[in-house]
Chains A and B, each alone.
Chain A
Amino acid sequence: MWVYIIKRLLLGVVTIYGVATLVFFLMRVVPGDPALIALSEPGRDARVSEQMVDAMRVRLGFARVEVGLNRDAFENRSGLDELEAALQALDGEAVLNSVNSGAPLNVGGTILKPKQVRATVHRIPLLTQYLEWMWNSTRFEFGNSLKVNRPVVDEWMRFFPVTASIVILAAGMTLIAGLPIGIISAIRQDRFADYLGRIVSIAGLSLPSFWVALLIILGMVIWFGWLPPLEYVPVWEAPLQSLQQMFFPAFAVAFAQIGVIARMTRSSMLEVLREDYVTTAWSKGLAESTVVTRHALKNAFLPVLTVFGLQFGFAIGGLVVVERAFNLPGLGNFLVDSVVFRDYNSIQATLFATAIFVTAANLLVDLAYAWFNPRIRYT
């Protein structure tokens, strides 16, 4: 068991670094100069100077600033080495910005004029960029969001609670609704309940989650005069109100998953119900509920669990559109906004983080699988 867990953990780490590598190259195959594209988006200054492009390259991690003192501009040339060291300890990007804007710079109490400071931008070689990116993503340092100029991670933490609560609610709904529908479909095969269950589950697969979300909103608007709340309420402030807000988005996300889980449960149960040990259980005269839950479900659950884990990624995809439809301040909405704004730093971070979540979820499912399945547990 331990060997298996360690092996899976290591594989997970390899996958995550692979993800980081892919994200790195994805952002560098942008046709044209990403710095130029990021600058040329509407909503930013129309005139693009060489200085701005250089500054953007620094912000994107494509270039770095080399700072030094312009020694000719000093009358008194003593103690300049200490001053230079203090200057170099500052954030290169901030120094570059103040030099470009002509603002005086405060270095440890000494006010420097822009012409006394030299800030040159150097392209970072691709390999160094790559190593830096890998190291930074290990520390969850993704630079500043280009849109609001705050650390991406801080932005992330602002949007995370919404997304997390929808995911948890939706996962709960999926299991609570999907398993019983699948089980009933299987034990009443080809009867009315089965057809009903199958229609529900294939409808879940066929109705895009944004369409379900839109139908809910439409229904509420037309029949109850309700509008999607504009102000989001965090869970810890008003749990009940938050649940009210999260219920329908979570349902829209879960709807498709319920279909998948119900179908998987049904086919898995049908297979197990034909096994000899189930026939034995029946012939022992056990109650239907005992046979179904204790003998059949226990074994039929494993493939369902695997599918549940694999579906996690799809559920997150559904989340993006559902958050958009309900206008919720979650990570999905954040990602789409970042894409529209060409906020590469935020896109990179979001892509990397979601991949980690999916990998972690799959890992947990695999471990749970091993736990439930003695054939894996004891090898």
Chain B
Amino acid sequence: MTSDTPVLGISELHAGIDDTPILRGIDLNIPPGEIHAIMGRNGSGKTTAANIIMGHPDFEVTKGSVELDGEDLLEMEPWERARAGVFLSFQYPQAVPGLQVGNFLRKSVAAIRGEEEAKGAEFRKKLKDAMTQLDIDRSFLGRYVNDGFSGGEKKRFEILQLLLIQPKLAILDETDSGLDIDGIRTVAKGINNAVRGTGSSALIITHYSRILEHVQPDKVHVLIKGQIVKSGGPELALELEERGYEWLEKEAEGLA
């Protein structure tokens, strides 16, 4: 690994599900400390990209590579990817009835960061700070993972995990959907604290630019029909907000 090895390096990625291609040749590099955003309409392949980086077994990679710090991620099981430093904040986090939030957080931090980091006063303090930051009440720890959580609670819980796990690469899949303005602000603060100033990188997946007003991306990529058709600075998000996706779709068709 050299100093210019990206944290996330994707090249020529083709992937799909049940013989239906979804991603059709993606190249993306996120250098250390940078936040990138992938924007696109529903069905453009954004969530597929997130799932493939994390290793969802339903998707098949037909071509290309995905690397974390120069290491081949595609060879790893999902839990090995997590331990290597990939974190996915889910669009639809799953409920696990009977599994207490506090217990789950401790077990997950232990699995990813090691037993030592998941016990003692230091862990408790970190947990308390993160919960305060995200405006989460203490009683939350006794509830069951995502069981009966509101949409906003689910998203806050994902960011709470992000703050405790401190991954090298955080992928945030539609973290802003289903949140009101205050919710977006709170969650964005969590993301900034987890990524900015820690040397981590992040990939924000969204179809609105709203969250990007609070988490300033270094680069924005537009995904249309499984391909990145345009990349630019934060101003590209604003342009999309104003003009929509249609002009880019037309451009993309023109290119094809």
B and A form one assembly: no
